[in-house]
Structures are given as C-alpha cells and as structure tokens.
Chains A and B, each alone.
Chain A
Amino acid sequence: MSNCRFASAFKTLEHWLKYQLHAQEHFTLWYAAEDSQFVRFNQGKVRQAYPVLQIELTVRLILGERHASARINLSGEFEQDTAQLGQTLTQLRGILDVLPADPYLLLNTELWTSERQVPGRVPELQQVIDSICGLSQGLDMVGIYAAGTLYRGFANSWGARGWHECANALFDWSLFDASGEAVKSTYGSADWDAQVLSDLFEKAREQLHHLSTPRISLKPGQYRAYLAPAALDEVLSMLSYDAFSAKAFANRQSALQQLHLGQQQLSPLVNLREQPSSGFEPGFGHDGAPRQDVDLIRAGQLVGQLVNSRSQAEYSLQANGADQQEMPHTLVMAPGELATADVLRELGTGLYISNLWYLNYSDVGSARLTGMTRFATFWVENGQIIAPIETMRFDDSVYDMLGTHLLALTREQALCIDSGTYERRGLDSHVLPGALLEHLTLTL
C-alpha cells in the first residue's frame, strides 16, 4: 500500500471507524483528496493563483436494508477528523432510525483489493509561471494550469480496499487574434516536459496566422462538415449525461430512447465503448464495484448500457460497475479509415469545425442537438482553408450526425482529457476520431 500521508490517514480512519460500529452496522468509505495548484492566465499574465488542499470523505452507514451517506471535509489531523466522523456517524444513525428498508439496496460484499499509483513529475510553481508567461510574450494568451496529485480511496467494513494515486499537470489555453478569433490547445502530462509545451505553443502560434483573415458569414442551411475530435467530444459529452444510463432508459428519459426501442440506428461506422481499463480513473467506483469495460454501441446498434447496483435491483439488469449517475468516464470511439492528413481534401468544400460549444437538446426524444461553433472553425473550398467563419448555431439529430450523414471517421484517434474542475479536479478522458459529415444543419 502507498505510504503517502493521505493513504495512511485514510487507513487510520478506516481502522478507527471499524471499532465504532454497533452490532450489524456496516460502512463504505469513499475518499477523494487533492493537493492542487491552480494558475489562471489572461493576456499572457497571471490573473489568479492558488493551491487547494482538499480532503473529502463520503461515509455510507448501512444497517440491514437501511442506509444513508454523508460527505465531509477532513483536515488530515486524526483527533479533529475522528471527532467529526464520530458526529457524522451519530447523525447518520439518527436518519437510519426513521428510514424504512430500501427495496433497491444491493451490497457488494466481495473481498477485493486494488492499488494503482501513477507517479508523476509536476513542475515547481515558479518554473511553470515563468515558462508559460515567457512563451506567451507578445501573445494574447488566456487559460488555466491545474496540477498536483489526486488521491482516491475506497474501503468497506467487509474488507474491500482500493487506492488510486495519480499525479499530473494540465494546461488548457487559447491564443487570441486581435479579431477575436482563437486557437485552443491542451497539454496534459504525468511527466511535464517544457519542450513539448514550447512546441505546442509554436504550433498554435502558426495556426493563429490562418485566423487573421476576415471572417466569412454563412447563411443558415446544410453544409458538408468535418468535426475534429474535440468537436465530436462535445457531442459525446452531451450524450454522456444520461443517454447511456440504465435508469434513464427505464425512466424513458434517455436521449437515445429511439435507438433503445429499435426505431432509429446510428451509422455502422459507430462503435463506442466505456473503457475504464485504459483511462485515468481508479478501477473501482464509489460504492465499491470494480469498474468494467462496457460496449455501448457496436456497428451503430445499442448493445449496452451503464448499470449500477441500484438499477440492477430495480430493473433486474446485471450491474457493470457504473457509479450512481451511470455516466461514462472513459469513452473510446473506434477509428475509421480516413487519414487525418486527407481530411481537407475529402471535405472538399464545407466547414472545418475544431470545437463545438454549449450543446443542449432541442428535442430530446429525437436526440436533436443544438450548439455553437467555437474556436478556429473554417470555411474550406476545394480542400483549401479560406477563412474563419462567424459563430454559427447548428441543430441536428444525433441519428443524422452519427447516422445517415456520417461519411467517415478518421484513422487517427485523439485523447481528449477533461479539464473540468467543478468541486475537484476530474480524471475523465475520451479517445475518439474526427468525423466527416455529408451535411450539418446550421440554423442561426
């Protein structure tokens, strides 16, 4: 087992808690900690910078078929934390006293252990600030640097244990042209390399030249279009909310309901899999279930869904390691045949879309999505980039975009690391190709 202070503090608390249990009581513990450094930039300078030391513990108390959970912040100091955990236990017991049995409680009492440590080299803050500000000289750069080690732990009173430690640094930034156009880039690594960052800056700086041409304004209508992996990632991220969830299918709330009912299908080119075995997430979930790889879409047909233990009990399905939200965290979309180098030629005349933004459903029942173009979207004629376009809104069904209108997927896949930091730094990632569409409908 890791001997870092977070791992040993977690183990000590787990041990302490075991001796607090009353007869028949059980617990599960989920531990999430980070010691992070955030630096936010604007105009190539530091706008705001701070470290965050944050320890969270979620304890679920189980007595027979009754259970309730509480998430608390910990200090890392034993006396303080056991006092707090003790109070929380009392609070949870008070709640269990008034609860009826939960008909959908399904406990995983298997004994397992899992440990993974991904060692990393995160640079010194001073070095990061100096090098990023140095590279940004003369450029209008805006972005966020987030780095440090992330810790995740699981333990239950039946003896299952998991520990996951992962150090990384992620820099997500845009370079802006005076026209307001921008190139977005991301560099994430467990082993920070200043030279790689410098090369990426250089590449973005070159792309910026394309953006100084005056924007073309397009009329609403249908256009042949290429979605780069980051743009396609937005579509999959939108679907990730609840389109693959067993609960959402059962509640008739999934956007892919018609695919589920067999009334629609996607292109045979589409193969999609939740593949935690290859991601950055721990190999175990919040309620102690080992995560599993799950095929979701095979050759355009829905073949799987994400099922947690509650859905297993409620809908008589087989659980497959999904967490409470039944959201995918490490989607992998199979590649196609189109060489990325040939994308412009195959696109011919149409839109090259680097990123999409702010997607939502315009008709959830028919999986119709709307959203905006953002960052480096170009008009292309005869395989040549002509100029950036004015921000446009699209509105199209997933059954068209990834169905009847999908012409090809690229042979190369890109790794899209989720730079999200709501409440805590995340570990989600997607691996996916780019997509060439016969047409995409622009509406405004």
Chain B
Amino acid sequence: MMSRAQSSLRRFMQTCAHWPDFVSLRLVEQQSRTLAVTRNVIEPPSLRNECGVMVCVHVDGQQAFAATSDITLPGLQQALERAQQTAKALRGNGLVQHPIANNQGIRAHYRSPELDLPLPDTADWLALLMETSRQVPNDPRLVHWSARLRVVQEQQLYLDNQGAEILRSQQQLFPEIGVNAFDGQHSQRRTYQVAQQGSANIVTHTGFLDEARRVADQALQLLLAPNTPQGQRDVLLMPDQMILQIHESIGHPLELDRILGDERNYAGTSFVTPDMFGHYRYGSDLLNVSFDPNVTGELVSYSHDDEGLHAEKQLLIRQGILQRPMGGALSQARSALPGVANSRACNWNRAPIDRMANLNIEPGDQSMSQLIGSIEHGILMATNRSWSIDDARNKFQFGCEWGQLIKNGELGAVVKNPNYRGISSQFWRKLSAVGDASTNAIMGTPNCGKGEPNQAVTVGHASPACVFSHLDVFGGQA
C-alpha cells in the first residue's frame, strides 16, 4: 500500500526525470510508540509520527542536499531549488568530485521478517508490560524498576532520476527491563534489553516475564557481592558485552570516513590507516568479523543503503587479518579501497555518511561449558554499563553490570562493578576462544552517535561469547 506522501514523492520525481543533473529523493515516514510501566504504574504513552524528505542533487560534480518536513509539491520544489543553490555556493570549495551512482533500473522492496503478523494493540502491550513489572518481587531493597517497549515502524522510499525505486519497510522492537537495588548505602542496577526487527514474537518468545524475575534477583545478588578484584585475568565476555566491544573497537575504527578524516572535529579518527588493509593483523586467527545485512531479524538488515548501493555480506576481518573498511560508494571512490553498502542517514533530516549497519563476529566452535572449562583464573562479564574509548578508538575502558569469577574451569562467586581496560590494537590478538552458534546472540543498539551535524542511528550486532586472555580487570570502590 502506497502512502499519500509516497505518491506525492513519485509525482514529484516525474518532474525531475529528464533533468540533466542527478537528483534523488529520500522520504522517511516513521511511526513509533513508547510504552512503559514503572513500579506497576503505567507511564503516559508517547507516539511519534515523523515525516520528511531529503533531496540530493549533483551540479557540476558538486553534491548538495536539502531536507524538509514540508512534503507538499511546492515544499519539495523549494527544497530542490535550495539544494541546487547550495551546490552552486560550493564553487570550487568542494572537498570531492562526487561520482554519480549507477542506480539504473534498481527496483527493490525490503521487508522486515513477519511484517504481516498483526501487532498487539496498546492495551495488550500495556497489559504485558504490567505483568512483567509485577514479576519483580516485593523486597524493600528493590527501590525502582520498569518494563518498557518501543515499537518503530519505518517506511523509506528512495527514488532517483536514473529510475531507481527502493522501498524499505522496517519494523523494530526494543523491549527492556531495568531494576535498581539499594541497601541504604550503595545501589546496583541490572537490565535486560532486546533490539531486533520483526514481530511481537521478539517480545513474547524471549520469555520477557522470566527475564524480569532474573534481573531483579541478580540486582539483589549484586548488592551482596564483593567488588571485582583487581589484577590480570582471562575474561569471558557474554554477547551483551561483546556487542559493545565490537562496536567501539572494531566498528568505529573501520569506518572509512573516520579514516579519511571527516570526523576529526567530533567523533574522532582511527588508529587504522589505509595502508593496513589486506595484511594488518587485527586479532588472533580466531577473529572473523562480517558486515552482514542479510541476517534475519538483526536490527539493520536491508537490501540497499541510503544511496542505493546494493548491500551484501563482506568479511572485514578474516582469520585475524584486516580485509576492508566500512565505506559507501563515495568513500570507496575517495580512498580507492573496497567497502560495503553502509552509507546511512539517521532520518530524513540528515545526509548519509559511513555508518555501521549489522556488524558481527562469526561464531567459532566452542560450547559455553568448553569456554568456561578452558579458563583457570578468570571472570565472566555480562551486560555493558559503561564505555569510554579514545578518539582514535584505541585505549578503552569498559564496565559491565554482572561479574562471576571463574576458577579452574568452574563458574564461581558473583562480583560487582566489573571493569576492564585495554588497547584495541592489542586486545583482539588476545582472543583465545570463540563460542559456537549456541552461544551466539543477535542484538543491537538504538543510539550510535556520530557525524556533523550529529546523527544517532540504530546498529545491529551479533556475537558469540568470547574469551580473551590476560586482561587488566578491576572493580569499584568499597
């Protein structure tokens, strides 16, 4: 079914069909609702119905854009003229000559899995969240908790005057639970989050109610637990910490626009340089990292990026050796390096730049019990809670919600405030075991920030549990 905005976009593109210059239009229509129950009280629901168009033109090799929430035909015409004026204002001051995409004849319609299944209505969702909230036991130390859900439905239509027509219909769900425990002196917080594309099954099949009980129980366990001891240990990172580790110390440093210096004033640069591709040892032989837009249900699976480049799976790191960066068509042309289809914008009001999409670690061959069994003096860490890394994406420090010591191949005592620090360029070489598919989890994050002007995008990450040897581990203050 075509929305009114989509029909008007098509009509407008017909008027640009025979222009000598390249013109593309990207319409984003996003409906989302956020529902929450906090301590068994329903919070006021909030909806968003966003809609706008980004126009892109090329004039004499100069590319410029114009964004507008005025999607009437005169509004689109005005945006087109503003984009042309902007391109002309560059007059020899443009950084790059923009290659014209070859999007001739592209027709595609990407749809999230199970898009046809009807979603529960607001009353049903609220009933589920209330039931989830009520799973948190009555314990005076449990001072705060909430169960939340955000459902995002987005239709993006990309048209250009080469005839490309790419429709993307995505449905993303973000259920989460958080519990705070407090003993009169100190507090601990434990959370559970999912971020995937698909239907209500994402929430109902994950055992949301059980997770609320688990999270509450673990928050209380952490309250009683000692601090994580300081020293060198082997570390078993669970998928809900691995995704952050991949994101910060593989994803960002491999973004080609960072390597090309575009982000030096804000998000930063990269310790990776163009000459490293093809031979640099990023990690141990066990490290295989993919850009994979085809994983069913992963948060950012799609058929084409926001400039019409066809998306396919690529290994960025193969057996520890760096293969290619993440850069879209423009960055590939600027750098003469291979890339991936990752030119993405956060919404209609921002122009696409190089972003992560789905960035995954390929599973290995170790079961969870083998991973634990291989560790003599170690610690398991789960669920990211703190992250900090330098602007070249090298020196990092990450903290988790949950820690459990491992001694002689056995999982032992719970410890609180587990942190570790390291240096990206050395860290991945310490990867000593990679979990098999049974340890793998498909996850994601809704808020990766980057770009000037700023853009926060969703990113998908899938990872097995992994072991790293001899990391610097430490806890909090008593």
Contacts and interface: CB of A to CB of B under 8 A. Distances in A.
B46 A142 contact: no
User: Which of B96, B121, B388: most chain A Cβ within 10 A?
Assistant: B388
B70 A75 contact: yes
B388 A126 contact: no
Contacts of B123: 98
A70 interface: yes
Interface in B81-95: 82-83, 85-86, 89-91, 93-95
B126 interface: yes
A40 B391 contact: no
Interface stretch (A111-119, A173-181, A409-417, A429-437): A173-181
A72 B63 CA distance: 29
Interface in A45-77: 45-56, 60, 67-77
Given A253-B144, A363-B476, A393 B48 contact: no
Interface stretch (B209-217, B314-322, B438-446, B451-459): B451-459
Interface string B288-305: 000000000000000000
Contacts of B68: 52-54
B261 A142 contact: yes
Contact of B67 (A54, A252, A370): A54
A173 B265 CA distance: 6
Interface in B34-68: 41-52, 54, 63-68
Given A102-B42, A372-B390, A393 B47 contact: no
B335 to A, nearest CB: 13
Chain B, interface size: which category? 35 or more
B285 interface: no
B72 interface: yes
Interface in A222-271: 250-253, 257, 261, 263
B410 interface: no
A370 B322 CA distance: 30
Interface in A353-371: 357-366, 368, 370-371
A204 to B, nearest CB: 12
Given A88-B49, A257-B187, A362-B476, A125 B42 contact: no
Contact of A84 (B49, B265, B421): B49
Q: Which of B68, B399, B423 counts the most chain A CB atoms within 10 A?
A: B68
A193 interface: no
A184 B266 CA distance: 10
A182 interface: yes
Given A40-B452, A94-B122, A357 B265 contact: no
A142 B65 CA distance: 19
A117 B30 CA distance: 32
A325 interface: no
B45 A49 contact: no
A38 B453 contact: yes
B477 interface: yes
A49 B64 contact: yes
B269 interface: yes
Contact of A73 (B52, B79, B353, B455): B52
B180 interface: yes
Given A361-B399, A372-B390, A51 B180 contact: no
B386 A360 contact: yes
Interface string B166-193: 0000000000000010100111010000
A213 interface: no
Contact of B265 (A142, A250, A252, A358): A142
A251 B180 contact: yes
A130 B93 contact: yes
Contact of A71 (B50, B189, B353, B477): B50
Contacts of A184: 265
A393 B65 contact: no
B89 A49 contact: yes
Interface string A164-196: 000000001110100010101000000000000
Contacts of B274: none
Contact of A50 (B70, B83, B397): B83
A393 B397 contact: yes
Interface string B442-478: 0000000100111110000000000000000001110
A322 B63 CA distance: 42
A16 interface: no
A130 B399 CA distance: 46
A214 interface: no
Nearest to B54: A50
Interface string A122-151: 000110011001000000001110100000
B144 A444 contact: no
A439 interface: no
A161 interface: no
Interface string A320-348: 00000000000000000000000000000
A85 to B, nearest CB: 10
B164 interface: no
A372 B69 contact: no
A421 to B, nearest CB: 4
B47 A68 contact: yes
A391 B397 contact: no
A180 B271 CA distance: 11
A305 interface: no
B172 to A, nearest CB: 18
Given A45-B95, A53-B79, 16 more contacts: A42-B261, A45-B94, A46-B90, A46-B94, A48-B63, A53-B69, A55-B70, A68-B45, A142-B264, A173-B265, A174-B265, A257-B187, A358-B390, A372-B395, A420-B454, A444-B423
The 6 closest A-B pairs by CB, nearest first: A363-B476, A50-B65, A144-B452, A421-B453, A251-B144, A70-B47
13 contacts: A48-B65, A49-B65, A50-B83, A70-B48, A73-B52, A88-B47, A129-B90, A253-B189, A263-B185, A363-B399, A372-B388, A422-B449, A423-B456
